[in-house]
Amino acid sequence: MEFQLSGGTGVTALRDVNLSVEPGQFVSILGPSGCGKTTLLRVLAGLEHATNGRVSIAGGDDRKDGARVGMVFQRPILLPWRSILQNVLLPIQVTRRVTNADRARARTLLEMVGLEDFETRYPNQLSGGMQQRAAICRALITEPELLLLDEPFGALDAMTRDNLNVELNRIWRETGKTIILITHSIPEAVFLSERVLVMSHRPGRVVDDVDVPIGSTRTLDVLGMPAFNDTAAHLRAHFEVRA
């Protein structure tokens, strides 16, 4: 994956990235800043076009055969003049008329994340964590086959982030969605994922693929498990600065 800068200088963001994710799997991608993690996610989402190689999602070729992708960004990016329910329904509204079934689906999603009493509120009336939960509902409203998360909790305080990680684990188990998460947090990657991919410095490539052996149901108690700490230590070794 290459970009052209002003003056004709080329920058290679990704090189020889070859990975596969099984349906229903939760995979996190770790790597140093600037290694191409977000570029990879944007290619998967169809927001960037790979300069070489191929992306296949749910058997489709480059997302052309009906494979649907939902994406949650670092910020919720909710429209301030729309209610929470209206924000969740936005991806439907931009493609077709919203039906009563769509509204029922949106309310079910809001109930799933504990926002059933806030559907008529506006974004500025919700906390940052609540806004991000609404953004997850918006990404799920179209029933995507793949959910992409680009550091969705990075701007939140540690306690809210921990609670949302537990919530996200529950959402993943209840929906069975395939999820790929970009994060800079090793504990977050281990807590949420079945697999963690480690990327090198730019040009980014996958240098390790680590299974997380702590079961699918995650509560904050797993933070003290030896398997959790051993996996985190293994991943941390990739980023240690050696004298």
Element (H, E) at 179: strand 178-182
For 1-68+144-243, the fitting CATH number among 3.30.230.10, 3.30.70.260, 3.40.50.300, 3.40.50.2300 is 3.40.50.300
Q: What is the pLDDT of residue 3?
A: 47
Please state, in angstroms and rounded to a whole number, the distance separating the CA atoms of residues 87 and 168.
19
Query: Can you say whether residue 56 is alpha, beta or left, with left for phi > 0 and alpha for psi between -120 and 50 degrees?
Result: beta
Dist CA 130 CA 133 (whole Å): 5
Contacts of 241 (CB under 8 A, 6+ apart): none
Structure confidence at residue 48 (pLDDT): 75
Neighbours of 37 (CB within 10 A): 25
Report pLDDT for 36: 75
DSSP lists the bridge partners of residue 204 as: 14
pLDDT given for residue 59 in this prediction: 65
- What per-residue confidence (pLDDT) applies to 137? 95
The tens-digit pLDDT sequence of the chain (243 residues) is 454 444 555 556 676 777 888 999 999 999 887 777 888 888 888 887 767 767 777 666 555 544 588 999 888 999 999 999 999 999 999 888 999 999 999 999 999 999 999 999 999 999 999 999 999 999 999 988 899 999 888 878 888 889 899 999 999 999 999 999 999 899 999 999 999 999 887 777 888 999 999 999 999 999 999 999 999 999 999 887 654
pTM equals 0.88
Yes or no: say if 203 and 229 are a contact pair by the CB < 8 Å rule: no
Three-state secondary structure along 132-172? HHHHHHHHHCCCCCEEEEECCCCCCCHHHHHHHHHHHHHHH
Q: What pLDDT sits at residue 116? A: 92
Where do the structural domains in the chain lie, given as residue ranges?
Answer: 1-68+144-243, 77-143
The residues near 119 (Cβ < 8 Å, ≥ 6 apart) are: 83, 84, 85, 106, 107, 110
Q: Which pLDDT belongs to residue 74?
A: 85
CB contact at 8 A, 32 and 186: no
Paired with 69 in beta bridges are 146
